[in-house]
A and B are shown apart, each in its own frame.
Chain A
Amino acid sequence: MYLRMGWRNIWRNPRRTMVILTAIIIGVWSMIALGALMKGISNQMILNGIATLTGHIQIHAPGYSDDPVVENSIMAPEELEAKLAKLLPPGSHVSARIRVSATANNARHADGVTIVGVDPGAEAKVSFIGHAVKIGRYLNSNDPNGIVIGKALAEKFETGLGKKLVLMSQDRSKNIASRAFVIVGIYRAELEATEKQYIFMNKDVAQQMLGLGKGISEISILLPENDLTTPVTDRLRAALPIQKFDIRPWLELLPMARGYLKIYDTFILIWYLVVFTAMAFGIINTTLMAVYERMREFGLMKALGMKPAWIIEEVVVESLFILLLGVAVGDAISIATVYALSLHGIDLSAFAAGSEFAGVARVIYPLVDARNVISANAVVFVLGILISLYPAAKAARFTPREALLHN
């Protein structure tokens, strides 16, 4: 009975109901839209970070993360790789790399870079480089002099395909190792900083140049599912000797993404509360009005023996309907807009230098996260019911006498 009465009551003044519904719909829309936008940014930051050499899990020699030099290498990786093959879930990909800082020189320029020595086949399955070469070609397993560099580095050095580049780095016996290489491919990456930093070459070439033997700097693991990161990290930490291997999941390796994830929830919750407060004033006022203009009605109901609790229930049911409608329509509209925006993404290319500076992708694809939608709905719904208790309690307190005398 409450339900039918409540539903009819809210349509007694359709304009008023429509106005407050609009406030709720816009509010819910803005909550979900902001959530989707931030989720999109953080999601891309993570995917991009994982693809840019991090992988889901990395294994180093202890000390490498503080002091990434050739001395801190894993010298006998075969045993580790054999163990990994047994420990990792099927569908995982593993790439063993050399990664050391170096200087690149040509006739006109010199700058600091990072040499990444890879097994071309294994690396292509783990990181972005497999499909990122836009000019020339990717490395093949027989490339004693070939390197692949980023587009931004090529521009900075005023160089191109087939040109020479001299790379210098410290080898294992602390001497400067220097060698000339030929650029065979030029890649593009999401961030220019990546393009300027990494120079790819064959693993055995790097090992030879640095006097590393079979040694490697790191092992990067790409799992079939992101959700497996934590359990697999735990399993590896339990199975491998901790004093020989430093095993870290991506969350510990990407400080920006971690920072973003940390403030993300707080930030969204604050926005939810702010928007809710803005509409709360409207909900209270509208419900109060609806209650006061029906004072006589409530008085009469009470005179006929309706208990105060039932009146509260009646008023709350009315709010419930308005909130339900507002939330449902708000959800539908916001999911539709987010979907429309995610088809082509929000293009920040006009602010390329800015997005680079912030470490954000050039095109942002907003992403609806079920958790956000649920929490937005819950905030509006629960707090909405709570605040409508105030007008409801007012209505329950009308005595039949004063209510019937009220004009």
Chain B
Amino acid sequence: MISIDVKMAWRNVWRNPRRTILTICAIAFACILLVFMVSWQLGSYETMINAAVDIHMGHLQIQAKGYQQKHDINLAVSDPRSLGRILDKIPEVSAYTYRADAFTLASSRDRTYGVLVIGIDPEKEAQVSTLKRSLREGRYLSEGDTDQALVGKLLARNLRVRVGDELVLLGQGRDGSVAATVVRVKGIYSSGQDDFDRSSIQIPLGYFQDTYAMGDAVHEVVIRSDTLKDVPIVKTVLQHDIKKEGRRNLDVLDWTELMPGLIEVIQIDVTSGFIFYFVLIIVVAFSILNTFLMAILERKKEFGVFMAMGTTPTRLVKLLLMESTAMTLIGIVVGTCAGILLTWYFQVHGIFISGAEDILRQYGMPERIHPRLSIISIILGPSLVLVITFLTALYPALRVRRLRPVEAISST
């Protein structure tokens, strides 16, 4: 029986090909757009997160409790090597490094600026951040270096220093003593994030600890996991292991806590995006509602005859829903495929929005944005379209139940 209904529905769909094609186009259009836009949004979030993670932040950090808010030099992590031993045992951790930092006055021959001096472990740092790769002049720090420094490009310009020039650092040590030293610029880097390139210099961790009376303590243990998805697992395991060691004064922070602004920007964008997609689908729904309505109203006579011959209203409703669902499905399949192709093209080539450079830099993003296809971005939009068009088709289909055979047959 079902096969007859299906056949009938399929033929009915093509009784008015032009109308059907227009309806399918409307649905396909919505799907193309949604697949593309959702991929675009997810792609740009990933770029934003990765930019922040790669340049400096890492996926997770272990810090002393309160350090994130106060950045107080006294809130340090002592005996970081023991944490390293814990990290070595977690398979999802791909790399980690130690850092210590202090706000310091840096003076060149004719300029003085306040900067953040960061002590790094050159070898480990290279595995965690892009610092080594973003070097533009001079050379990277090597093991055993002491009074050598890497300087951000914008800071180097402000301080008017080049590779080989001297910088006088004047700050405060952990014990309140004056921390003063002279370092030589070994390399100049450009990470692409202006704020970072304008405000920080890197010196070897051991030299930092000597200068700032830190002992063996550091401020951050920066961790990279294999992927963004592994972050929660690593965090849970770490929290558990650190507790077992009895180190209650330590916090494990993931990237959402290290940069609360980033995750909230994403939340705002997701919410507003969703509102606009919803509005768009509603416009499409009203656009196609008329087709569904007409397909029924102009066939009143036909339905009257069906009913007079004993077809139950339920079966008629089913038949009509099959017709509308067939149209919807064709539209969704066509639209999703076209959407995937379109998105894939831009995923490979990237999109350049002229005029948006200033805004993109604010988020530390490159000038070209690459949308990113994923299961979610392919399924989310089209399924929303499916649900809403089904609901749209329900209203006219259910009206059929109200038909009375005699009136219907005699209607014009």
Which A residues fall within an 8 A CB radius of B?
15-16, 19-20, 22-23, 26-27, 30, 34, 67, 69, 101-103, 105, 108-113, 156, 158, 168-170, 174, 176, 255-256, 258-260, 262-263, 266, 271, 274-275, 277-286, 288-289, 293, 348, 351-359
Q: Which of B72, B267, B286 has the most CB of A within 10 A?
A: B286
A263 touches B29 (CB 8 A): no
Question: Which residue on chain B has the smallest CB distance to residue A358?
Answer: B265
Within 8 A of A (CB), among B282-326: 282-284, 286-291, 293-294, 298
Residues of A within 8 A of B379 (CB): none
Interface of B is mostly: helix
B268 touches A112 (CB 8 A): no
Bound Cα distance from A274 to B30, whole angstroms: 9
B358 touches A111 (CB 8 A): no
Can you list 9 A-B pairs, Cβ within 8 angstroms, ordered by A?
A: A22-B286, A259-B358, A266-B353, A281-B26, A281-B288, A282-B288, A288-B18, A289-B19, A357-B259
Residues of B within 8 A of A101 (CB): 113-114
Report if A357-B262 is in contact (Cβ < 8 Å); known contacts: A16-B293, A110-B172.
Answer: yes
Question: Which residue on chain B has the smallest CB distance to residue A27?
Answer: B283
- Asked if B55 lies at the interface with its beta carbon under 8 angstroms from chain A, I say no
Bound Cα distance from A281 to B356, whole angstroms: 32
Cβ-neighbour of A156 out of B70, B115, B279 (below 8 A): B70
Mark contacts of B64-91 with chain A using CB atoms, 8 A cut-off: 1 yes-contact digit, 0 otherwise: 0000001110000000000000000000
Kindly specify which of B103-111, B223-231, B401-409 makes contact with the partner chain: B103-111
Question: Which residue on chain B has the smallest CB distance to residue A262?
Answer: B355
A275 touches B280 (CB 8 A): yes
Which B residues fall within an 8 A CB radius of A?
18-19, 22-23, 25-26, 29-30, 33, 70-72, 102-105, 107, 110-115, 158, 171-172, 199, 259-268, 276, 279-280, 282-284, 286-291, 293-294, 298, 353, 355-359, 362
Known: A259-B356, A275-B280, A289-B290. 8 other contacts (CB 8 A): A103-B114, A110-B104, A112-B113, A158-B70, A282-B26, A285-B290, A352-B264, A357-B261
Interface of A is mostly: helix
Bound Cα distance from A17 to B264, whole angstroms: 43
Residues of A within 8 A of B355 (CB): 259, 262-263, 266
Bound Cα distance from A259 to B363, whole angstroms: 13
Question: Which residue on chain B has the smallest CB distance to residue A66?
Answer: B157
B23 touches A103 (CB 8 A): no
A288 touches B19 (CB 8 A): yes
Report if A19-B260 is in contact (Cβ < 8 Å); known contacts: A101-B114, A277-B29.
Answer: no
Cβ-neighbour of A112 out of B30, B199, B294 (below 8 A): B199
Bound Cα distance from A112 to B117, whole angstroms: 12
B171 touches A256 (CB 8 A): no
Bound Cα distance from A406 to B26, whole angstroms: 28
Report if A348-B268 is in contact (Cβ < 8 Å); known contacts: A27-B283, A256-B362, A266-B355.
Answer: yes
For the complex of A and B, 3 pairs with smallest distance between CB atoms? A354-B264, A282-B287, A357-B261
B287 touches A351 (CB 8 A): no
Q: Which of A27, A110, A278 has the most CB of B within 10 A?
A: A278
Report if A170-B111 is in contact (Cβ < 8 Å); known contacts: A112-B103, A259-B357, A355-B268.
Answer: yes
